[in-house]
Amino acid sequence: MTELPPGFEEVLPQEVIAQLRAVHENNQMTAEQQHEAIDRIMTTLPEELIQRLPQPPGFENLPQNIREQLKTIHHDRASFLFTAIEP
């Protein structure tokens, strides 16, 4: 899969888009390795850029409290992954 989620190309820098596509196209990596590589790329992005990324389709149909909980979980997970991958 080389397609990014809708709206990501409009927000992400070209070098990040290229990195994500390279991971998706790498047939030498397992699905788990690809997910880990994508997580590493995404968790290094500045917070203001992360905030500009569009939500997944259907997200707006969820109750407001669920959307807020998911945003909190995503943010906390990104913070955890970022500190976990630092040398």
Whether the Cβ atoms of residue 21 and residue 8 lie closer than 8 Å to each other: no
Contacts of residue 3, defined as CB under 8 A and 6 or more positions apart, other chains included, come to: none
In a domain, 17, yes or no: yes
In a domain, 28, yes or no: yes
Distance CA 87, CA 44 (A): 13
With pLDDT > 70 as the criterion, what percentage of the chain qualifies?
A: 83
pLDDT above 70 for 38 = yes
This prediction has a pTM of 0.70
Overall number of domains in the chain? 1
Identify which has the larger pLDDT, 15 or 84: 15
In a domain, 2, yes or no: no
pLDDT above 70 for 75 = no
Say what the pLDDT of residue 14 is: 97
- The whole domain housing 69 covers 8-85
Where residue 82 falls among pLDDT bands split at 50, 70, 90? very low
* Nearest Cα to Cα of residue 29 among 20, 15, 49, 58: 20
